[in-house]
Amino acid sequence: MQPKRNVDLDIEFHGLIPDREMRITGLSVDHQSAVLHYRISPAVPDRDPEDGSPWLTWDWSGVDDLGNEYVSWGGAYGTSDDGRSTGGDLTLSPAPADGARLLRVHLAPFRLHEGDLGAATAEIPLALDSLESG
């Protein structure tokens, strides 16, 4: 089994979530999956005050430069300790294929009471041979 590999990223999205900035901050890859780490500023509420549902949900998927497809495989988010931002993870499965050099991830945030908020595609380099093991 391969060790977990990590890479720091700084991919910024303005306007994907109204009045907030979203930034993909990293990618972790293990033998089962790839996990995108993100931060939203200012913070979003964890729950909708009207009904307790998650304030924000995501639809996400990916495809690499070899044509392999990746499906959403869970995620989580929560407010930072200082309350100024929200951090989260979006998991894709399976793990990136050997030889893949680029992962295109389609991100579409959704609010239960507002519907689709838009969509964006992040192009993430997969130079997995240069990812830091850890």
Per-residue pLDDT at 126:
85
Nearest to 45 by CA among 36, 54, 37: 54
Per-residue pLDDT at 115:
63
Domain residue ranges of the chain, discontinuous segments joined by +: 5-129
Following DSSP, what letter does each residue of 15-62 receive, concatenated?
A: SSSTT-EEEEEEEEE-SS-EEEEEEEESPPPSB-TTT-SBS-EEEEEE
Per-residue pLDDT at 2:
57
Q: Is pTM, for the whole model, over 0.75?
A: yes
Over its length of 134 residues, how does the chain's per-residue pLDDT go in tens digits? 455 788 899 999 888 888 899 999 999 999 999 999 999 999 999 888 888 888 888 999 999 999 999 999 999 999 999 999 999 999 999 999 989 999 999 999 887 667 677 889 999 988 655 444 44
CATH class of 5-129: mainly beta
Per-residue pLDDT at 128:
54
- Residues near 98 by beta carbon (within 8 Å), at least 6 away in sequence: none
